[in-house]
Structure 1
Amino acid sequence: MSLLRSARFPAILLLVAAIAGLAVANSPIGAAVLEFSATHVGIAGTAVDLSLAHWVSDGLLAIFFFSVSVELQFELTRGELRSFRRAIQPAIAAAGGVVVPIAVYLAVTAGSGVEAGWPVPTATDIAFALGVLAVFGRGLPASVRVFLLALAILDDIVGIVFIAVLFATDVNLGMLALALLAVVAFAILSRMLDTRARGLIAGALVLLAVTTWVLVLASGVHATIAGVLLGLAMAQTPALVVRHAIEPWVNAIILPVFAFMAALVPIPQVAASDLSPAFWGILLALPIGKVIGIAGAGWLAQRIAAGAGDQRLAFGDLLAAGALGGIGFTVSLLLADLAFSEAPFVRDQAILGVLAGSLIALVLAGALVSWRARHHRRLAATAAAEVPA
């Protein structure tokens, strides 16, 4: 299990799953697998009647978002974002990492009719980013990892808000109100887990979690938001215990299965000039927009918001963080699917743009992180040599 809790292995697993999905979709069995993924399973005539692909993106991924929101709750209350002073610099950098990719995407797609995909290149895949940092970042100061973690979590908040606000359809306020009542009950019960009726309460919490998911799904809000609400509402100590317990399953099954299903995209047999502007907008916005936005805004933040005792990151470190932020992957794949759900051809090309853009960012991040790690190792070696015996 320790392997699945590490930063490196889950990122590798995620990449392999995405490559496998793309390979299968473009193999002789691709059409059959795509048809199978569209098979509906559930209770006919109700909201709980989803294709296998949507059981993954709406169901399994809700568990991933629960895990993310538990980490977010911790960081906001006891971690790196617990105070305004700690949060302001990564917040400004994250804002730059959202605004500039949107601007790049809209500049590329202006007048094309696919401008609705602007949220896609705003996300950062924290699992991938930390995986690259673990593989190539030996010797980097802890401040770089802390900055990246805070940045990625803030990016997750933005992605969650976009999913909740932009992609809700025909919202049923009654169902949503019932879902919120279920969340309140879940929050209250989670604070009673240290009583003698622990087993009964745990069972009730599972039932309330499933009920919340069903109600959010029926409300028209994307079902993954149920995971977010439950993760933020649960009492922190048991929430962290649950997150620790499900982490290997999220890393080994949920995220790879989602990556495989999301990457089941046939590569269009067209000339590069005939590819959708959505593809090119995402391809450029992820690696270029993120680097410029995060590094530029991070540099500015250190000059306008840094305290006297705050440790500043060198611009090279900010460039490396920006490249890591360009690895959109998981949430970007979900946003691409949601943004172009009514235009399958454009959606497939947007997903290809996410995969290609994230791969470019991954390679760039590997190079920049390696460069900065070597630099910091040299500094450490020089400092050690100068210490008197």
Structure 2
Amino acid sequence: MRVTVKHLRGQQIPAVLLLVAAGLGLLLANLPTHDAIAGVLHAHLAVGAWLDLSVAHWISDGLLAVFFLVVAIELRHELTHGELDSVRKAVQPAIAAAGGVLVPIGVYLLIAGPSSGSVPGETAAGWPIPTATDIAFALGVLAVFGRGLPSAVRVFLLALAILDDIIGIVFIAVLFAHDVQWLLFGLALVGTAVFWLLGRMLHRTGHPIVAVLMVLVGVATWALVAVSGIHATIAGVLLGLVMAPVPASRVRHALEPAVNGVILPLFAFAAAFVVIPTVSPSELSSAFWGIALALPVGKIIGISVFGWIAMRIRLPGSAPALPFADILAAGALGGIGFTVSLLLANLAFAGDPAIRDQAILGVLVGSLIALGLSAAIVSLRARSYRRTAATS
């Protein structure tokens, strides 16, 4: 099948590309091709004397900032005009999202925290990793296997995944900042303000020179964040949140094919490029087991239980309660961590490559388990709805 721009704006093809890219990265890392590809990923490309990053970091810090720009544009839309623009819309998915964060953290710390027998601080730092939900991947699985499900299931999943994204962004900004240069970050905030002003000008005039200036200011803001000690992807979040609605919508529409077809697969390939350790399962790090179990198990329990509780809270004008089986399907889909979980794994164990690689393997294994589990549950629910519709 020929992949077109329209396909890349959809949900199914991007999910497949992401999975294929991660699988290819893992495969090539464990073949004789490892050294050649690792040499490319670890090669450094410098811009002047102040910004010197490896190719892998240009992907995770540079290209991935474009992904977070698109995410932030979607976040702003949902918070102002979409599924989270009022308390009555947000309260139920917010409670479910809280369960989808707290329970996986508890499961992870039970397995890999200091009280689990691990060396204190060795693996406990990975607790944020299983809290993420990959929106694109989860919606892709729902689109493939969920024909016949009511739209309310997709709306609920989208809302709680967006709230997951907000939590993940906060974790990246707060937990993984290091040696912050506040002057440089302050200049980045000034750049964000200039970007906001230019966005309003572009909305009023539509002049192409203003658009060019926005690109230049955006790149400069990203560079300032990158050297400030705050993770560079936060620049994409800041710029996406302040962009005027009409230009933001156009930017998102223009960037989606590149993000889904190039940036995310490249990141998945680079992040999954890890050597599978030749050890018995009992010798694997507790970080691997914590993530591999917390994603599918912690997410489905947390989202399902907290989601069921949330459905008992009936604010005036809120949507009808979902059946528990539909919440269970959303919980299983929430366990597909993938993109943001891979980024969090890289950040949490940046100083320990051996544990980092096993944490990444944990993300891949946990997400694949969640993918299979969610595909089965979603298929059963969709079949039930189709059967009911056929007999009614």
Same fold per TM (> 0.5)? yes
| Correspondence 1:201 to 2:185 | no
**Offset of residue 306 of structure 1:** 4.5
Residues 104 and 295 in structure 2, CA contact (< 8 A), matched pair in contact too: yes
Q: Secondary structure at the match of 1:41?
A: strand
Which whole-Å deviations, capped at 9, do the CAs of 1:289-345 have from their partners, x for residues lacking one? 000000000000111345466311111111110010000000000000000000000
Report if the CA contact (8 A) 2:203-2:246 is conserved. Answer: no
The amino acid across from 1:252 in the alignment is G
CA 1:372 to 1:212, structure 2 compared with 1: closer, same or farther past 3 Å?
same
Structure 1 unaligned regions, length at least 5: 384-389
Distance 2:315 2:384 in 1: 23
- Unaligned runs of 5+ residues in structure 2 are none
User: Quick check: 1:163–1:222 contact (8 Å CA) kept in 2?
Assistant: yes
CA distance in 2, matches of 1:183, 1:196: 20
1:57 aligned partner, one-letter code? S
Out of 347, 356, 361, the residue aligned to residue 352 of structure 1 is: 361
Residue among 192, 200, 216 paired with 1:191: 200
Percent identity, please. Answer: 62
Contact preservation (8 Å) 1:88, 1:305: no
- Tell me how far apart the structure 2 counterparts of residues 191 and 45 of structure 1 sit (CA, whole Å): 34
Q: CA RMSD in A?
A: 1.1
**Aligned position for 2:345:** 336
Question: Per-residue deviation at 1:73?
Answer: 0.3
Whether contact under 8 Å (2:105, 2:130) holds in the other structure is: yes
Q: Which residue among 118, 125, 135 is the counterpart of 1:116?
A: 125
Partner residue, 2:49: 45
Are 1:287 and 2:296 matched, yes or no? yes
- Confirm or deny: 8 A CA contact 2:89 2:319 kept in the other structure: no
1:86-97 equivalence runs, <5 A: 86-97=89-100
Equivalent in the alignment of 1:65: 68
Counterpart in 2 of 1:11?
15
Q: 2:29 aligns with which of 2, 6, 25?
A: 25
Q: Taking structure 1 as the reference length, what is the TM-score of the superposition? A: 0.96
Partners of 1:197 and 1:87 lie apart in 2 by: 34
Q: Report what 1:303 is aligned to.
A: 312
Counterpart in the other structure of 1:179:
188
Change (3 A) 1:308 1:78: closer
Paired residues for 1:109-148 under 5 Å: 109-111=112-114, 112=118, 113-148=122-157
1:311 counterpart SS class: coil
Aligned partner of 1:386 in structure 2 is none
What is residue 106 of structure 1 aligned with on the other side? 109
Q: Secondary structure at the match of 1:50?
A: strand
Compute the TM-score of the two structures, normalised by the length of structure 2.
0.96
Tell me how far apart the structure 1 counterparts of residues 318 and 204 of structure 2 sit (CA, whole Å): 45
Alpha-carbon contact 2:26-2:274 (below 8 Å) kept: yes
Tell me the distance in 1 between the aligned counterparts of 2:364 and 2:277: 14
Q: Deviations over 1:94-153 (max 9, x none)?
A: 000000000000000133131000000000001100000000000000000000000111
Q: State the shift of 1:195 in Å.
A: 4.5
Q: From the superposition, tell whether residues 312 and 300 of structure 1 become closer, same or farther in structure 2 (CA, over 3 Å).
A: same
